Amino acid sequence: MADMVGKALRVLSLLGGYPEGVPLSELARAAGYPVSTTHRLLSSLQSEGFARNDPVSKRYSLGLRLFELGQSVSQARGFAGVALPVMQKLSAETGEPTLLAVLDGHNQVYVHSVQGSQRLQIRGEPGARGPLHCTSMGKCLVAFASNRDELVASLELPALGPRTITSREAFAAEIAAVRERGFAIADEEHEEGIRAVGVPIRTPDGTAIAALSTAAPAYRLTVAQLEEFVPALRAAARELAALLPR
C-alpha cells in the first residue's frame, strides 16, 4: 500500500511539470512505470479529482482537487495571485463583487472572489463547487469549452432557482446564444433574487480557461444594468488571459 501511495505521489509530482498536459505513454516513461500501472494510478487519482484527462487531447494534467485542498493554505498566507489586482480594479469600477471560476468536469470551481463597495454582496467561496447550467460563469465555461457538445448533451439541469433552464433544447439554444454574443446572463436561475453577468477568459484559440462575473441582488440591478458592465468585464478578461496559466 505504501509503495502504491508513493507511486501515486510521484505521478502527481510529474504531472505538475506538464502544465499543457501529457500523454499516458510519455508520463509512464518519465515515471519509469509500465503503462498499465500508470494508467491504473491515474484512474484512481482522476476518480478523486487529483488528476484530469482532457476529453479532446487525451492528455493528463493536475486536477482541481489539489487547488481545493490548497485554498485554506493560500488564504491563510494572504495569497493574492495575479488575478486579484485585476478583479479588485473591476470591483472598484462596478461597485459590485467580481468572481472568478474555472471548469472541472460537470462543475465550476470558484477561484477568487473580490467584494465591491455595496453593503450587500454576493460571495463565491474559493474552492467551492457550483453548477454550470444556471450561472453566468458556468454558461461561459460550457459555451467556450473544448468539449462543449458533450457538456450540452449530458449536464444535469435541475431547477435551482425560479428561472432555471431545465429543457435540454432551451439550454442548447442558450449556450449557442452565449457563444454568439460573448457573454452570459443568469437572471434568478441559480438563486432567487440574484442576477449575474459573466464573460469567458479565453486562450488565443478561443477556449475558455476561466470565467469572470459580476453578481448583484436583483432588486439593485436590472438585467440591462448588468449588461452595461460587459465592456469592463471584457477588458478585465483580456488582461487576465495574458496573466493566468493555461
Task: State the DSSP string of the chain.
Answer: -HHHHHHHHHHHHHHTT-TT-B-HHHHHHHHT--HHHHHHHHHHHHHTTSEEE-TTT--EEE-HHHHHHHHHHHHHTT--TTHHHHHHHHHHHHSS-EEEEEEETTEEEEEEEE--SSSS-----TT-EE-STTSHHHHHHHHT-TTHHHHHHH------STT----HHHHHHHHHHHHHHS-EEEESSSSTTEEEEEEEEE-TTS-EEEEEEEEEETTT--HHHHHTTHHHHHHHHHHHHHHS--
pLDDT bracket for residue 228 (50, 70, 90):
very high
* Mean pLDDT of all residues in 51-79: 73
* Mean pLDDT of all residues in 196-200: 98
pLDDT bracket for residue 227 (50, 70, 90):
very high
pLDDT higher than threshold 90 for residue 56:
no
pTM for the structure as a whole: 0.73
pLDDT at 236: 96
* Mean pLDDT of all residues in 183-207: 96
For residue range 66-93, what is the model confidence (pLDDT) as tens digits?
777 766 555 543 445 678 899 999 999 9
pLDDT higher than threshold 70 for residue 245:
no
